[in-house]
């Protein structure tokens, strides 16, 4: 079966006074219907720009999608007219943002904003739209939905606002929900509730989720497959179990190695050991190495890494791929 | 509804604003009452000339040099002043909001072109420009309204543009785009309602200045000759100001009251609607 969303060699450039930089450089991945796919990486690695590119939301100028294909439900989103694209946005693909505090329009009630998105895509009566809004608020577990639709956003807590955002995004039964760091601005308990809710909605509505996050814990808990990004490129793609069980790319290994294990990371006398870290810094956009972009920080690097512009390539096992010259050696070394 | 109540509570805490509101309502009442209290033509010569106020109980406001009833003129003048002030304000807000929202939303060359044009209009002294417009076309209430709107919209345009520049970057606008809204819908339903507060405040002050401009034009004899207006009464009374200063003084007080009232309301709205000042 063809995947719901198939992103191939997506490239998004930003044109600045210092020159053109690829914030997303030939990134490929696919999302199957009903699954959660995670894009993970640190700040500035291009994961949000990737998400924005899918809905063609990259601000132009300075940004522009310069290459690749985004096949969604059999159509290349990059070839759609603006009018067709508007039907996809909010209709087939919903999106929720990092900041539920500012993502709701302060001058309208919650109910108005949900019915707004309904009436944008469907010709339905005001009364029906309101009934559907109440249904949606029930669906995202906002208590007392019948009353809440008349409330203004400032009367809701952060978690409730994110739920309202989710309700808006789900208004027209999208096939794909893009969640751009949906819990970053929320406290830990609320985070878990929202992610749990998204997971349940995914199952009950059969939609796919593209989850953008920098939190590997979230990935492990809620995603089925994952693409690790580094400096604008995909460096490792795998099923979640495989990635956490046996990371291949040195960057992924570094990330997982840097996760704290409070119970195990102690020396013989019970004192905590220092956390592992990946040495060095992400190279600046205008000073990217010619070869592998992780090479300067990589403990596995060999001289050839400096020269070879290595891209995501399938490994012998088939279901996973990594962008590393030494992937085969690393696989062999694994215990 | 609850919001309207909260707004009224904040507005009414401000004594000066309440006074302003009272004055404005009183002037509106005067304008509405004019055709009932003085059903005859206010330009008709009905009395002995130069009657001082309270001299003749039939004409409590006195009469002017031609024997026209000053009371009738001031009451009917309120009607004209409010009409011109309100329509000119509405017209300039419409022009200003359109120009400002297009410039602020689209940015780039649209913004450049519209804002340079706005600046060109702003460099011309407003009163001179209205005089020119009224002098070129026949002086009617319509042309006076057009002339006042032409000089007044630039400030609204700049205000709205500034609001749009910050609001269009806000995430709820992104959320609207993600929902598939068109540019027009985003501007009208998402951004504009959020930028109305300063526009409402500016409009109340603009109405005061429109009334002043109209009075100025009429004083110079450039007003609509077929209607009475406060400025025109002052202009007519100027020739006899030594013997009968009350002819100029009474409509003068009316203008001061109207402008003061509208300014107080504007200030009050600013305090009540501006969230940063709410806790003062």
Do A86 and B185 make contact, defined as CB atoms within 8 angstroms? no
Six-digit token string for B68:
């026209």
* Confidence at residue B115, expressed as pLDDT on a 0 to 100 scale: 95
- Containing H/E element for B98? helix B70-106
Do A86 and B182 make contact, defined as CB atoms within 8 angstroms? yes
Give one word for A135, left, alpha or beta, with left for phi > 0 and alpha for psi -120 to 50: alpha
List pLDDT tens digits, range A74-101: 888 888 888 888 888 888 898 888 877 7
ipTM of the complex: 0.75
Average pLDDT value for residue range A183-197: 82
List pLDDT tens digits, range B123-182: 999 889 999 998 898 888 899 999 999 999 999 999 999 999 989 888 888 888 888 888
Pick from B170, B171, B177: which is nearest to A89 by CB?
Answer: B177
Are A165 and A36 contained in the same domain?
yes
* Confidence at residue A170, expressed as pLDDT on a 0 to 100 scale: 85
Q: How many domains does chain A have?
A: 2
Q: Which residues of B touch A (CB under 8 A)?
A: 3, 170-172, 174-182, 185, 189-190, 193-194
The lowest-confidence range among A161-165, A289-293, B150-154, B220-224 is: A289-293
Residues paired with A19 in a beta bridge: A16
Are A184 and A239 contained in the same domain?
no
Are A311 and A244 contained in the same domain?
yes
Are A21 and A65 contained in the same domain?
yes
Domain hosting residue A170, numbered range = 5-229
From A229, A251, A271, the end of a domain falls on A229
Q: For the CA atoms of A240, A243, A244, A249, what is the dihedral angle to 10 degrees?
A: -150
Contacts of B178 in chain A (CB under 8 A): 55, 57, 89-90, 94-95, 169
Chain A residue nearest residue B178, CA to CA: A89
CB under 8 Å to A149, separation ≥6 — which residues?
A: A109, A110, A111, A114, A130, A133, A134, A137
Chain A residue nearest residue B176, CA to CA: A117
From A178, A194, A229, the end of a domain falls on A229
* Confidence at residue B213, expressed as pLDDT on a 0 to 100 scale: 92
Are A195 and A61 contained in the same domain?
yes
Distance CA A68, CA A7 (A): 8
Half-sphere exposure of B126 (CA within 13 A, CB side): 20
pLDDT: is A159 or B84 the higher one?
Answer: B84
From A199, A229, A259, the end of a domain falls on A229
Do A90 and B180 make contact, defined as CB atoms within 8 angstroms? yes
Distance CA B126, CA B155 (A): 12
Measured at the CA of A214, the angle between CA A183 and CA A285, to 5 degrees, comes to 130
Are A173 and A201 contained in the same domain?
yes
* Confidence at residue B60, expressed as pLDDT on a 0 to 100 scale: 82
Are A329 and A314 contained in the same domain?
yes
* Confidence at residue B280, expressed as pLDDT on a 0 to 100 scale: 42
Distance CA B63, CA B52 (A): 7
* Confidence at residue B277, expressed as pLDDT on a 0 to 100 scale: 53
Do A90 and B189 make contact, defined as CB atoms within 8 angstroms? no
Six-digit token string for B261:
């009232």
List pLDDT tens digits, range A37-73: 999 888 878 888 888 888 888 887 788 888 888 888 8
- Containing H/E element for B109? helix B108-123
How does residue A334 score in pLDDT terms, banded at 50, 70 and 90?
Answer: low
- Distance from the B171 Cα atom to the nearest Cα atom in chain A, whole angstroms: 5
In whole angstroms, what separates CA A310 from the centre of its chain? 23
Are A28 and A171 contained in the same domain?
yes
For residue A108, the domain's CATH number is 3.40.50.300
Are A185 and A248 contained in the same domain?
no
- Containing H/E element for B119? helix B108-123
Are A196 and A245 contained in the same domain?
no
Are A236 and A197 contained in the same domain?
no
**Number of residue pairs across A and B with CB atoms under 8 Å?**
60
Are A177 and A239 contained in the same domain?
no
Dihedrals φ, ψ of B255, to 5°?
-65, -45
């Amino acid at each position: 079966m063809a995947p719901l969303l198939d992103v191939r060699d997506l490239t998004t450039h930003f044109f600045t006074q210092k020159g053109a930089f690829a914030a997303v450089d030939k990134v490929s991945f696919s999302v199957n219907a009903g699954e959660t796919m995670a894009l993970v990486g640190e700040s500035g690695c291009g994961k949000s720009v990737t998400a924005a590119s899918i809905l063609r939301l990259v601000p132009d100028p300075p940004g522009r999608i310069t290459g690749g294909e985004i096949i969604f439900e059999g159509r290349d989103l990059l070839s759609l007219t603006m009018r067709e694209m508007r039907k996809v946005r909010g209709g087939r693909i919903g999106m929720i943002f990092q900041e539920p505090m500012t993502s709701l329009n302060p001058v309208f009630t919650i109910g108005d904003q949900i019915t707004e998105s309904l009436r944008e895509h469907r010709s339905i009566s005001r009364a029906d739209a309101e009934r559907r809004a109440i249904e949606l608020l029930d669906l995202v577990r906002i208590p007392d939905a019948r009353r809440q639709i008349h409330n203004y956003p400032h009367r809701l807590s952060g978690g409730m606002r994110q739920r309202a955002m989710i309700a808006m995004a789900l208004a027209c039964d999208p096939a794909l929900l893009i969640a751009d760091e949906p819990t970053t601005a929320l406290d830990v308990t609320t985070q878990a509730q929202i992610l749990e809710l998204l997971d349940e909605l995914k199952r009950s509505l059969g939609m796919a989720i593209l989850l953008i996050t920098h939190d590997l814990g979230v990935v492990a808990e809620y995603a089925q497959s994952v693409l690790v990004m580094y400096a604008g490129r995909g460096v490792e793609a795998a099923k979640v179990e495989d990635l956490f069980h046996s990371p291949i790319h040195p960057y992924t290994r570094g990330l997982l190695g840097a996760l704290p294990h409070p119970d195990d990371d102690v020396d013989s006398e019970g004192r905590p050991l220092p956390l592992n870290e990946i040495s060095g810094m992400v190279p600046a956009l205008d000073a990217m190495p010619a070869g592998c972009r992780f090479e300067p920080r990589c403990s596995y690097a060999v001289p050839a890494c400096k020269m070879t512009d290595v891209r995501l390539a399938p490994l012998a096992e088939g279901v996973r791929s990594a962008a590393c010259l030494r992937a085969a050696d690393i696989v062999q070394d694994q215990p | 509804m609850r919001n309207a109540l909260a707004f009224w509570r904040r507005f009414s805490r401000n004594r000066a604003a309440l006074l302003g509101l009272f004055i404005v309502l009183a002037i509106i009442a005067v304008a509405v009452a004019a055709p009932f209290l003085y059903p005859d033509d206010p330009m008709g010569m009905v009395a002995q000339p130069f009657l001082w106020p309270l001299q003749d109980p039939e004409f409590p406001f006195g009469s002017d040099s031609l024997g026209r009833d000053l009371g009738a003129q001031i009451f009917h003048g309120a009607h004209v002043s409010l009409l011109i002030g309100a329509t000119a304000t509405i017209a300039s807000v419409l022009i200003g909001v359109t120009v400002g929202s297009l410039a602020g939303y689209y940015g780039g060359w649209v913004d450049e072109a519209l804002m340079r044009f706005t600046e060109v209009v702003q460099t011309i002294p407003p009163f001179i420009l209205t005089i020119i417009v009224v002098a070129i076309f026949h002086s009617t209430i319509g042309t006076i309204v057009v002339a006042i709107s032409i000089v007044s919209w630039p400030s609204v345009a700049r205000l709205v543009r500034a609001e749009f520049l910050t609001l269009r970057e806000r995430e709820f606008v992104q959320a609207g785009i993600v929902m598939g809204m068109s540019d027009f819908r985003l501007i009208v339903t998402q951004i504009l309602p959020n930028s109305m507060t300063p526009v409402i405040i500016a409009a109340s002050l603009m109405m005061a200045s429109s009334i002043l401009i109209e009075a100025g034009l009429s004083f110079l004899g450039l007003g609509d000759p077929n209607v009475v207006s406060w400025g025109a009464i002052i202009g007519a009374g100027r020739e006899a100001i030594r013997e009968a200063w009350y002819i100029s003084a009474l409509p003068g007080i009316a203008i001061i009251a109207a402008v003061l009232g509208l300014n107080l309301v504007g200030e009050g709205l600013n305090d009540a609607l501006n969230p940063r000042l709410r806790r003062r």
